[in-house]
Amino acid sequence: MLTVEFLKEIRKLNRFKQRHPVFIRLQHPNENVPPDKESVAELLRMGWWGQKKINGFRCQTHITAKGEMTFYTRQGRIHTRQVTDEIKEALEELIPESGINVFDAEWQIQLNKLFVFDIYRQEGQLLRRLNFAERHNLLRENYAFLGPHIEFLPVYKSVRDCMRVLNKDDEKVEGLVFKYPSDSGWKDSSIMRCLR
């Protein structure tokens, strides 16, 4: 039997869903690659691309045309820590004309910075048909992550560049993640982790 309280909760949930965009399940690496030159070279020979793995909190960032911003954890919960006003102000440059933009990022709290590495929605359009290389190019060509609070993470395609990241003493970088550029990147098998 449906109670009045239950129906009120359902209505409240529906209003919440209308105001807050739906979380997109994130890929999470199941495979670990040794951080040595031979392993990295083999992955690059097979066509994989490297990106820095930032030591922070995963932060799927939803920005609506109305300027509303929602920040999700890797598990799909809304972050309990408040993203700073400086980051929110920087993100105002990324407000879509219509619909919603959804970016995947790592939030480095100590640096007060978002490291953006993928885009899942643009102007409300789900980008599931684009592969990782196409989405990465879309980010690079259409969004200028400038300023001290938002950084766009490039990809690395050479052994020298990958090993430079792995060998550099940098607290904010845990290592690399490797993604296959012609894969959509929505599955856990399309990403591998290479920690120092």
Task: Name the phi and psi angles at 110, rounded to 5.
Answer: -60, -35
Give the architecture-level CATH label for domain 26-195: 2-Layer Sandwich (3.30)
Query: For the residues 170-182, what does the mean pLDDT come to?
Result: 93
Q: pLDDT grade, residue 135 (50/70/90)?
A: very high
Question: Domain limits of the chain?
Answer: 26-195
Give pLDDT tens digits for 72-91.
Answer: 998 889 999 999 999 999 99
Residue bearing the bigger pLDDT, 173 or 24: 173
Mean pLDDT, all residues of the chain: 87
* pLDDT given at position 63: 96
For the cut 90, the answer to whether the pLDDT of residue 48 exceeds it is: yes
